[in-house]
Amino acid sequence: EAEAEAEVRLLLQEAQESIEAARSYRRELEQRLRGLHQARKQIRESATLTRDVLEQHFNDLKGTLKKLLDERLMSLLQEVDAIEQESIKPLDECQKLIEHGVSTANELLQEGESAVHGDVGPQNEKLCSFTKKALHIQLDSLPEVPSLVDVPCLSAQLDDCLLTILKNQIFRHGTVASRPPVQLEEFVEKPGGILVRWCKVDDDFIPQDYRLQYRKGTASHFEDVYVGSETEFMVLHIDPNVDYQFRVCARGDGRQEWSPWSIPQTGCTTLVPHEWTAGLEGYSLSSRRNIALRNDSQSCGVLYSKAPTYVCGQTLTFRQTVGQPDRRDSLGVCVEQQNGFDSLQRDKAVCISTNGAVFVNGKEMTNQLPAVTSGSTVTFDMEVVQLGPPSNEGGNFKLRVTISSNNREVVFDWVLDQCCVSLYFGCSFSYPGWKVLVF
């Protein structure tokens, strides 16, 4: 009986496992079926949209072509009218001259016949008057009438090759692509931003430029956010925990038109944006408080972040416009805000001076980076490398820090006596004109 019960339990266990496997198999099939439905929907919707775009485009071409042909016809008709009027005008003038001569000749004939057939008494007087008048009119002077070969004979020259050219151009106009040549590849969350990467998926396509667009949520219109040759772009001013749709297209080498758009994809960031602390007298902030400008105030001090929003494992980036440098200038991160200092060149902070000197806990390192230049970026990357009992250096928490500037970098370990994975960032400048964007 015990063996029979054990066998039954084993069979029940195997049956239960088979049931779970069948459920999992069904779920997987249902998921794949949903994927097929989505693929079919995408094909049909994109085909419908493509038909609408083609019909609208060619209808617009028809309207534009008809308008251009009508305008050309009107121009040619006006040219015919102008030639006709210009050519008829001298003929009209000649006709008036001839008609006047005919009228004068008729009057002279009537007067001559009257003089010849008149009474003998007054006849001599009429004959004398008629003779003088006839001599005065110059009956041997006739106006010249142009021959037919000398007057315009209008005609239209219509080259049939236009139809051939149009036919060849029309038959080559437009293409239908089964998939875009570029697609979005990756979204990387950044504080108040998203790093968007894309890639080329058509091996035969040679890109010259890329064009990235985005829209917030379900907004009706996409906006251009980047046009250039890079395959990634940091999109700033992104509200956290809000979905944004992105799409990208490309322009082939030597071409003017853009390729079809990639399939729109949704990206978002859960990281709150970096912000400078408002209210420090020596600095003015932008509306989003991610840009700080050193103003003309004589007050000095360190401008800190609003909160410890820099987290180890992320990249902190400063981009600046330069002013007059000073050896006490600083850009960097710190464990806590400490008022009363005019620089981050102090304990519990790492920073770079505007001349390229690197300071760790207030001590200058031997390695030095290039001087900060206008438009360049300074980046800080940190990762935890030790968390445990105190080391010989006196701390029990170690961060590996990488500072990069102008294509050079320094790497060192920063030893602290407390666990810190969220840090403040800060800056200090002695002279006005410095402007720093943080992201």
What is the mean predicted confidence (pLDDT) over 404-429? Answer: 92
Placement of tokens 């902070």 in the chain: 349
Residues in the chain: 439
Q: Tens digit of pLDDT for each residue in 44-70?
A: 998 998 999 999 999 999 999 999 999
Instruction: Report pLDDT digits (tens) over 354-390.
Output: 999 999 999 999 999 999 999 889 999 999 987 655 5
pLDDT digits (tens, 9 = 90+) for 328-341: 999 999 999 998 89
List, for residues 258-307, the tens digit of each pLDDT value.
998 999 999 999 988 999 999 899 999 999 999 999 999 888 899 999 99
CA nearest to 320, candidates 437, 404, 403, 237:
437
Q: Does residue 185 or residue 4 have the better pLDDT? A: 185
Alpha carbons 103 and 49: distance in angstroms, whole number:
79
CB of 360 within 8 A of CB of 398? no
Task: Using pLDDT thresholds of 50, 70 and 90, give the confidence band for residue 162.
Answer: confident
The distance in angstroms from the start CA to the end CA of the chain is 73
101-105, 307-311, 352-356, 380-384 — which is least confidently predicted? 101-105
Highest mean pLDDT, choosing among 30-39, 122-131, 147-156: 30-39
Residue-averaged pLDDT of the chain: 89
Mean pLDDT lowest for which of 39-53, 98-112, 243-257? 98-112
HSE-CB for 194 with a 13 A CA cutoff: 28
Domain covering 182-269 in this structure, CATH number? 2.60.40.10
What is residue 261's predicted lDDT score, i.e. its pLDDT?
92
Looking at residue 159, its pLDDT comes to 85
What is the mean predicted confidence (pLDDT) over 227-234?
95
Which pLDDT score, from 0 to 100, does residue 120 have? 52
CATH homologous superfamily of 283-438 equals SPRY domain (2.60.120.920)
Q: What is the rounded CA–CA span in Å between residue 307 and residue 329?
A: 21
The string over 90-120, giving b where at least 16 C-beta atoms fall within 10 Å of a residue's C-beta and e elsewhere, is eeeeeeeeeeeeeeeeeeeeeebeebeeeee
Q: How confident is the model at residue 176 (pLDDT cuts 50, 70, 90)?
A: confident
Question: Measured between alpha carbons, how far is 95 from 46 in angstroms, rounded to an integer?
Answer: 72
Pairing between β-strand 330-334 and β-strand 422-428 as defined by DSSP bridges = antiparallel
Could you tell me what percent of the chain has a pLDDT over 70?
Answer: 95
Segment 86-102 mean pLDDT: 89
Residues 46-57 as b or e (16 or more Cβ within 10 Å = b):
eeeeeeeeeeee
**Reduced to 3 states, what is the DSSP secondary structure of residue 44?**
helix
Predicted confidence at residue 298, as pLDDT, reads 86
Listing DSSP states for 121-148 in one string gives HHHHHHHHHHHHHHHHHTTT--PPPPPG
Given a cut of 90, is residue 248 above it in pLDDT?
yes
In this prediction, residues 89-102 reach a mean pLDDT of 89
Q: What gap in Å lies between CA 289 and CA 404, rounded to an integer? A: 24
Count other Cβ atoms within 10 Å, centred on residue 33: 10
Q: Where are the domains of the chain?
A: 13-116+127-172, 182-269, 283-438
